[in-house]
A and B are shown apart, each in its own frame.
Chain A
Amino acid sequence: MNRRSFGKYIGVAALMPTVLKPKETLADLKILQEGISETHTSIPDVIAGRLLSEEEKLWMTEFFKNFDKSMADIRSMDLPHDLIPAFIPKYPPKKSKRKLEATEE
C-alpha cells in the first residue's frame, strides 16, 4: 500500500456508512438506551418454557409501561468500574471510602 492508495482506502471507508446504511448508528443506540428497550416492547411469546396467553402479555405490557419509564434514568447513569454490588452490611460497621460521584475514576 502506498501513500496514494492509502488515501483512497480512507476515503472509501469514510463513505461506507452512506452506501451500506447500517441499522444501528451511535445516535440510534442512544435512543434505544434512554427510551423503551426493544426487549420490553416486544414481550416474548414463551417464558419459563410455556406460551403466554394474550391476557398474560397484556399484564406484562402494563407492568413495563411504568418499569421502563422508571429505569430510563438509571440506565443512563455511569457508575465507577470498581463499584461492587451491595449485599450484607458488615459488623463492625466501617466508614465507606466509596465516593458518591457516579463518574469517579
Chain B
Amino acid sequence: MDKDLLFKTIPELAKLIKSKKVSPVEITQNYLKAIEKDSPKLNAFVTITTELALKEAKLAETEITNGNYRGQLHGIPYAAKDLFSVKGYQTTWGSLVYKEQQFEYDAEVVKRLRNAGAILIGKTAMSELAGGPPFATATGACRTPWDLSRWSGGSSSGSGASVAAGLCTFALGTETWGSIMCPSSFCGITGLRPTFGRIPRTGAMPLSWTMDKIGPLARSAEDCAIIFKPTQGSSHDDAFSIDAPFSFNKKKLMERVSKLKVCFVKEDYEKFGEVEVGKAFSETLQVFKTFGIEAEEFQIPDFPYEPVATTIITAEEASIFEPIVRNGRVKDLIDPERRGEVLGGQTITAVDYLKCLRLVTQMRAGFDKIFERYDVILGSSTLTTAPPIVAKMSDVFKGGNIIEAAENLTGIPAISVPCGFDKKKLPIGLKIIGKHFDEKTILELATAYQMATDWHKKKPNLK
C-alpha cells in the first residue's frame, strides 16, 4: 500500500492519472486496503462498494488509456454519506429503523460525480437520521483519526473521518445545521457548505426541505472547488435547486483577495468553548493581515435564530418521518431525545411553523445589509475541538456560535478550513462565510489561507 497516494489532493492525483503514472485501479485498490485496515478503528464506513468501485476504476482506466480524459475528477475515488441512495446498495440513513432500506436509483449528485468520472468507493457512517450525539448511530460512535477516544463530529461523521484518515480522496456530506462544518473542524479537513439550492438533493434523505444542503469534505479548498463545479446546478426533481454561475481560478488570486472587506464574529470562548480555539482564531486574523485584510468586528442581527431553526427542522422532520410514528418504529430510534422530537413535532402548529419561516425572510434581509458592507464573515467552525465520545452534547455545544443557526436558516455558503491544533493535538477549524451564490470568494480566500499555511497538510498518526 502506497501511503503517500492516500493523502494526495485532487490536482496531485489528477496529474498522475492523466500522465498515466498511476492508474485509477491502483489508486482504488490502495484505498480499499486502507479502508479494510483502518475503517473498523474509526467506524467510518457503513458499506464498502468494492465491486462497483473496481468496475468504475477499470472503466476509467480504459477511457483514459483510449485518450478520453474527462477532467480532474476522472479516476478519483470518493465516499458518500449513507443518506445518498446508490442502486444495489443499502442506504441506512444511520438508523436501525432503515437498516434494510434500498433504492432502485442513484442520487442526482452521485450520478453527476459518475459522469465526471469519479469512483464511488463506499458509503460513510452518519448520525441517526442526520442528527444527535455520538452514540446515536447504527454503526457505533465514529471517531476522529486524531484521537480514537474522541468523536469525529456529526452528522457527516464518517465522511469527515474517512477523508482525514486517508481512506478516500474526498467525501460527500450534507448540512442542515452544522453537519459539514462540525466534522470538518473535528477531523482537521476542509468542508464546503454551498448556498441553499446549489446542489440538488434528489435521492438524498431529507431532514429539512428548506434547510438541507449537500457539500464536499476534502483536503483543500481547491479540491472543494473542483468537486463543486460538476455537482452544482438545478435539477428538475428538486424544486428548490437553482442555477447560478460558478468559476474558480487561482490566477491573480492574492490581488482579488487583498481587496476583500472582511468582518468577524466575536465569541466568548471561555464561556462557551475553549480558549485555545479562540487563540487560534486570533492568529488567523494575523495571517489575513499579511494579505492586506483588516477584519472588523460586527454584530449579528438580533433574532431568535436557534428556536426558529429548531422549530423549522422539527416540524419538517416530523412530516418526513411520520410513517415511523404511524407504524410505531419511532421507538427504535437510538436517541431518546430524537424520539421526542419526531413525536412532538407531529403537534407543532402550522401557525408556529409559518411564523418561523416568515422570520427567516427578515433574517435574510438582516444579512443582506451586512453583505452590503462586507464580502466575507470569519468565525470559528466550532468553539471546541473534538470531544470525548462519551461527552454530553449539552456540555459540548454550550451556546455561542449563534451565527451557525443564522447561516443555515438564511442559506448562505461557508467553508471550514483547519487553522491550528490545541495542546491535545486536536485540529481547530476556521469558518469563512460568504454571500448567497458567492462560493467563488470564500473558496478563493480559503485557498489563499492554505497557500500561506500548512495546517491542511497535517496527517493524523493512525496506528
Q: Which residues of A does B touch, CB under 8 Å?
A: 39-40, 43-44, 47-50, 52-53, 55-56, 59-60, 62-64, 67, 70-71, 73-75, 77, 79, 83-89, 91-93, 95-96, 98-100, 102
Q: Find chain A residues with CB under 8 A from B348 CB.
A: 67
B293 an interface residue at 8 Å Cβ cutoff?
Answer: no
For A71, what are the chain B residues with a Cβ–Cβ distance below 8 Å? Answer: 307, 311, 352
Cβ–Cβ < 8 Å partners of B337 in chain A: 62-63
Task: State the CA gap A86–B437 with chains docked (Å).
Answer: 16
B344 touches A100 (CB 8 A): no
CA distance A7 to B306 in the complex (A): 54
A87 to B242, CA, bound (A): 12
Q: Are the C-beta atoms of A40 and B347 separated by less than 8 Å?
A: yes
Interchain CB contact under 8 A, B347 and A43: yes
Chain A, residue nearest B412 (CB): A89
Chain B interface extent, by class: 35 or more
Within 8 Å by CB of A93, from B307, B322, B437, lies B437
* B contact face: mostly helix, strand, loop, or mixed: helix
Q: Flag B308-344 by CB within 8 Å of A: 1 or 0 each.
A: 1011001000000010011010110000110111011
Chain B: CB-nearest residue to A67: B344
Would you give 10 A-B contacts (Cβ < 8 Å), ordered by A? A60-B344, A63-B344, A67-B310, A74-B355, A83-B362, A84-B361, A86-B364, A88-B242, A93-B435, A96-B368
**Known contacts A43-B347, A63-B341, A74-B359: A89-B322 contact under CB 8 Å:** no
**CB of B442, distance to nearest CB on chain A (Å):** 15
**Contact across chains for B326 and A91 when beta carbons are under 8 A apart:** no
State A85–B410 Cα separation when bound (angstroms).
Answer: 12
Q: How far is the CB of B211 from chain A (nearest CB, A)?
A: 11
| Cβ A91 vs Cβ B244 within 8 A | yes
- Contact call B308/A74, Cβ cutoff below 8 A: yes
